[in-house]
Amino acid sequence: MRKKLNCWEYKKCGREPGGAKVSELGVCPSTTETGVDGVNSGKNGGRVCWVVAGTFCRGKVQGTLAQKLSSCLTCDFYKLVADEEEEKFVVVKDILARLRK
């Protein structure tokens, strides 16, 4: 079984703590969102980046969940996580409930 990647590993964005683009773009909120650590087998928000506000994809900050969700649901990484997790895939409403605790 191959290692399940977090978004910053898959996308190679360089926004993880200590990453190559941190000085230019800042640390991505997905890398530090501990409220969802372990969800979909990820580190912090690394495998639920579609619910974390302020992530950086397609060359710009993605904003709130409402602003970004439609583009995230068509993302190759989102599809990869859904395929890898299969029946264990945690859906958006359940992730949000966990974040609100």
DSSP readout, 35-83?
GGTTGGG-STTTT-GGGSTT-EETTEE--SHHHHHHHHTT-HHHHHHHH
- Give the pLDDT confidence of 18-35 residue by residue, as tens digits: 999 999 989 999 999 999
User: 3-class DSSP state for residue 8?
Assistant: helix
- Give the pLDDT confidence of 48-90 residue by residue, as tens digits: 999 998 887 766 777 777 778 888 899 999 999 999 999 999 9
Q: Report which of 33, 40, 34 is spatially closest to residue 84, judged by C-alpha positions.
A: 40
Q: Give the C-alpha distances (Å, rounded to integers) separating 33 from 1, 74, 83, 87, 99.
A: 26, 22, 23, 24, 9
With contact defined as beta carbons under 8 Å apart, do 20 and 26 qualify? Answer: no
* Mean local confidence (pLDDT), 1-19: 93
State the pLDDT at residue 62: 76
State the pLDDT at residue 89: 97
pLDDT band per the 50, 70, 90 thresholds, residue 41: very high
Total-model pTM: 0.89
State the pLDDT at residue 1: 67
